[in-house]
């Protein structure tokens, strides 16, 4: 089901981790941002769009993680984009002959049979420094940063006051750090929050990659929540965050939090 997030922007939410697909209305069809997870959900979305008389004219993946890189043939075959860095990472990952064998370690076993992998990651990298998604619709600015994953893009639709956050600013998931090729994943994340804060000042709507869309006033609150979590990790202080612990939406987040603490402790020792 498509939910209206205001003024030509619709959200389709998967029941897998409340993953949000954003549908932006353009002049000749729609742009799909992070197309979805399960095949039946993408087929349902394709049906809803067809009922509305809206072809999919472009796709965009916010970052190089499997749940943001999927596609289904029923959505057609428009160009699909990501940042250059995102596309390069996906290319490196999928060119490893063992990548497909490792997917079961990434995708939960209860849904792996329902996840269409044929068109996984077939994205074109936009040249480094590209400021806007090339398409015939409202201007969508790319705010590239390195929080959570290298080559991550948060997107802002200035004329609509909508921030599409990617995997930051979730009300159900804590900041998930990328411990890959970076010296300081916490500082990378804090820098990203500063960029997002500047780009979305005064906006009305935030749509995270996972969780509930938030309305006016929620953006500063969510930035503050992510920042407080990161400051606690950085300063080795106790974490008090509604997304971890007894009030958490997802029990597994506590385990993820523990692993992040262990990873950081190991980094400090080395
Ligand atoms: Zn992710």
Secondary structure in 3-state letters for 175-231: CCCCCCCCCCHHHHHHHHHHHHHHHCCCCCEEEECECCCECCCHHHHHHHHHHHHHH
Q: What is the pLDDT of residue 100?
A: 79
83 C-alpha to center of ligand 1: Å?
Answer: 14
Q: CA–CA separation, 98 vs 104, rounded Å?
A: 11
Q: What is the pLDDT of residue 2?
A: 78
For 125, the token pair is: 């990298």
148 C-alpha to center of ligand 1: Å?
Answer: 7
269 C-alpha to center of ligand 1: Å?
Answer: 27
71 C-alpha to center of ligand 1: Å?
Answer: 16
57 C-alpha to center of ligand 1: Å?
Answer: 24
Query: Structure pTM?
Result: 0.95
51 C-alpha to center of ligand 1: Å?
Answer: 31
63 C-alpha to center of ligand 1: Å?
Answer: 7
- Are the C-beta atoms of residues 34 and 61 closer than 8 Å to each other? yes
219 C-alpha to center of ligand 1: Å?
Answer: 19
Q: What is the pLDDT of residue 7?
A: 78
Q: What is the pLDDT of residue 269?
A: 85
Intra-chain end-to-end CA distance of the chain, in Å: 49
Per-residue pLDDT of the chain (270 residues; tens, 9 = 90+): 678 877 789 999 998 999 999 999 999 999 999 999 999 999 999 999 999 999 999 999 999 999 999 999 999 999 999 999 999 999 999 999 888 788 888 898 899 999 999 999 999 999 999 999 999 999 999 999 999 999 999 999 999 999 999 999 999 999 999 998 888 999 999 999 999 999 999 998 999 999 999 987 899 999 999 999 999 999 999 999 999 988 999 999 999 999 999 999 998 887
179 C-alpha to center of ligand 1: Å?
Answer: 13
Q: What is the pLDDT of residue 210?
A: 97
Q: What is the pLDDT of residue 130?
A: 97
166 C-alpha to center of ligand 1: Å?
Answer: 8
Q: Tell me the CA distances in angstroms from 177 to 23, 151, 215, one per residue in order.
A: 27, 14, 25
66 C-alpha to center of ligand 1: Å?
Answer: 8
170 C-alpha to center of ligand 1: Å?
Answer: 11
64 C-alpha to center of ligand 1: Å?
Answer: 7
Angle between helices 218-234 and 252-269 (to 10 degrees): 40
Q: What is the pLDDT of residue 67?
A: 95
14 C-alpha to center of ligand 1: Å?
Answer: 15
Reduced DSSP (H G I as helix, E B as strand, rest coil) percent helix, strand, coil of the chain, to 5: 35, 20, 45
pLDDT in tens, 149-187: 999 999 999 999 999 999 999 999 999 999 988 889 999
53 C-alpha to center of ligand 1: Å?
Answer: 31
180 C-alpha to center of ligand 1: Å?
Answer: 13
């Amino acid at each position: 089901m498509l939910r209206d997030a205001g003024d030509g922007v619709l959200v389709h939410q998967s029941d897998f981790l409340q993953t949000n697909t954003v549908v932006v209305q353009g002049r000749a069809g729609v742009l799909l941002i992070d197309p979805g997870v399960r095949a039946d959900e993408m087929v349902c979305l394709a049906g809803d769009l067809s009922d509305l008389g809206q072809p999919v004219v472009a796709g965009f993946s916010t970052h190089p993680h499997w749940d943001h890189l999927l596609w289904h043939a029923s959505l057609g075959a428009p160009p699909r984009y990501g940042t250059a860095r995102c596309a390069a990472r996906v290319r490196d990952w999928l060119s490893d002959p063992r990548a497909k064998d490792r997917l079961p370690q990434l995708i939960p076993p209860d849904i792996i049979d329902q996840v269409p992998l044929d068109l996984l990651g077939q994205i074109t990298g936009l040249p480094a420094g590209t400021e806007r998604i090339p398409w015939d619709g409202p201007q969508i600015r790319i705010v590239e940063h390195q929080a959570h994953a290298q080559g991550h893009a948060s997107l802002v639709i200035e004329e609509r006051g909508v921030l599409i956050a990617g995997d930051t600013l979730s009300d159900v998931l804590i900041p998930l750090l990328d411990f890959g090729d970076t010296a300081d994943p916490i500082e990378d994340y804090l820098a990203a929050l500063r960029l997002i804060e500047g780009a979305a000042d005064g906006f009305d709507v935030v749509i995270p990659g996972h969780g509930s869309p938030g309305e006016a006033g929620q953006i500063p609150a969510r930035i503050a929540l992510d920042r407080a979590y990161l400051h606690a990790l950085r300063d080795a202080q106790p974490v008090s965050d509604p997304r971890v612990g007894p009030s958490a939406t997802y029990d597994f987040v506590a385990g993820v939090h523990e692993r992040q603490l262990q990873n950081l402790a190991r980094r400090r020792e080395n």
